[in-house]
Amino acid sequence: MPIRRLCSVLIQLLAAVWSSARAQDVPKGEVAFTQYVAAQLRRELKGAQVEVKGPLTLVVGGGLQANLGRIFTYCSNNADGCKSEISAFVKGIAQVHNGPLPPLSRDAVHIIVRTSTYVRASSPQPGDMQWRPLAGELVMLPAMDRPQAIHPLSEKNNGELGLSADEVFNLGLANLQARLKPLMQIAKVAQPGQILYIEGDIYHSSRLALHVLVAACNGSGRQAHCRGA
C-alpha cells in the first residue's frame, strides 16, 4: 500500500475514533445523563444546590425544577450537537436561577403532583408553595412551565397573574387537561402479571390531579374547561 494512501487511512481512522470518543463523553442512559447535567449545572452555578430528584429531574436552589426530558431526547437523536445543546440549557437554567424571571403567562400555568417531602424540603417559608392535598403523601401545586424548567408559583405570583388562589389552581388544571392526551390513547393494555408505565411527557405524573377537575365538572357542566373531562 502506498505511503500516502496508508497515511490517509490512518488519519480517517483517528478522526473516527476521536469523533466517537466525543460522542461518548455524554452518557446515554437516563440516570447517568442526569448526573452529567447536574455536574455541569453545579460548575456553572458555583455553589448553588443542585439535587437529583430522579431520572431526568433536577431541583436547583431548593425550588426550581429542571426537567431534562426534552434535552435528553434531543441528545439521543443528535449526538454531534448534544454538548452545545447541554451548554445552552445549563446557561438558561443559570439565568433563570440568578436573574429576574420573565413575566408570568397564564397559558403556562400547570398543576404538578409532588410529595409532601418535596414541599418541606423545597419551601422553608410558608406561602412559598401553594400545595393542596391529593392522596396520602401526594400533593398538588400550581407551577409555571418555562422552556428550561418548571417553577412552583407562590401567593405573590397570583397577584402578578391577576388571579385568586382558586383561579390559579383551576387554570392549572384546565391547562394540564388541554396539554395531555386521553390516557387510553397512549397507554398499552397490560397483560396478566405485567407492569407497564407511560413516558414521553413530564406531566404524566400530574394526571393524578385530573380527578379533581372531573369532580368539579360533575358538579357544574357549564364551565368551558369541563368539555371532554
Q: Give the per-residue pLDDT at 39.
A: 92
Q: Give the per-residue pLDDT at 119.
A: 78
Query: Could you report the per-residue pLDDT of 59-101, keeping only the tens digit for each?
Result: 888 777 788 888 888 888 888 889 888 988 888 888 777 766 6
Q: Give the per-residue pLDDT at 223.
A: 47
Phi, psi of 77 (to 5 degrees): -105, -10
Q: Give the per-residue pLDDT at 77.
A: 85
Q: Give the per-residue pLDDT at 13.
A: 43
Residue of higher predicted confidence among 206 and 23: 206
Q: Rounded to an integer, what distance in angstroms lies between the CA atom of residue 100 and that of residue 31?
A: 30
Distances (CA, A) of 74 to 56, 65, 91, 141: 13, 19, 17, 28
Residue 228 confidence class, pLDDT cut points 50, 70, 90: very low
Q: Give the per-residue pLDDT at 125.
A: 61
Query: Could you report the per-residue pLDDT of 152-202, keeping only the tens digit for each?
Result: 888 889 999 999 999 999 999 999 988 888 877 777 777 888 787 776 677
Q: Rounded to an integer, what distance in angstroms lies between the CA atom of residue 8 and that of residue 49?
A: 49
Q: Rounded to an integer, what distance in angstroms lies between the CA atom of residue 132 and that of residue 144?
A: 16
